[in-house]
């Protein structure tokens, strides 16, 4: 049992690392092509800012429920559709779509 799980992890982990490294290299390549630095102050502000809605406001809870439901539904659809392609691809797609959903519901104004 343990050897089967370890074998699956060993076969999928390099694909996930390859996907992440290709995405990072693609961003670096685009920024270098445009003459921009690889990291700047706008990136730091974007990654460290607070959410537009906090748990003390009443608007947070409907948005939070919407985000949870959207991530669950989209995640289930992705697992159904992308499962034959491997766990690394499902994981990458799930992380990207979940981040986009959470950003759209909790960090942006409608």
User: Where in the chain are the domains?
Assistant: 1-49, 51-110
Note the pLDDT of residue 53.
Answer: 72
The pLDDT tens digits for 6-51 are 777 787 788 888 888 888 898 889 989 988 888 888 878 877 777 7
User: Residue 110 above 70 pLDDT?
Assistant: no
- Give the dihedral sign, CA 34/38/39/40: negative
Cβ atoms < 10 Å from Cβ of 104: 14
As a whole number of angstroms, the distance between CA 36 and CA 15 comes to 29
> What mean pLDDT do residues 74-92 have?
91
DSSP helix/strand/coil, 59: coil
Q: The whole model's pTM is what?
A: 0.66
pLDDT (0 to 100) of residue 42? 81
Q: Is the pLDDT of residue 54 over 80?
A: no
Mean pLDDT of 78-82: 94
């Amino acid at each position: 049992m343990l050897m089967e799980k370890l074998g699956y992890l060993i076969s999928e982990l390099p694909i996930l690392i390859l996907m992440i490294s290709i995405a990072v290299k693609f961003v670096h390549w685009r920024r270098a092509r445009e003459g921009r630095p690889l990291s700047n102050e706008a990136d730091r502000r974007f990654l460290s800012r607070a959410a537009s809605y906090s748990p003390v406001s009443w608007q947070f809870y409907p948005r939070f429920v919407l985000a949870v439901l959207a991530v669950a539904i989209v995640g289930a659809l992705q697992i159904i559709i992308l499962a034959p392609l491997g766990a690394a691809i499902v994981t990458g797609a799930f992380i990207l779509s979940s981040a986009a959903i959470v950003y759209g519901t909790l960090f942006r104004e409608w």
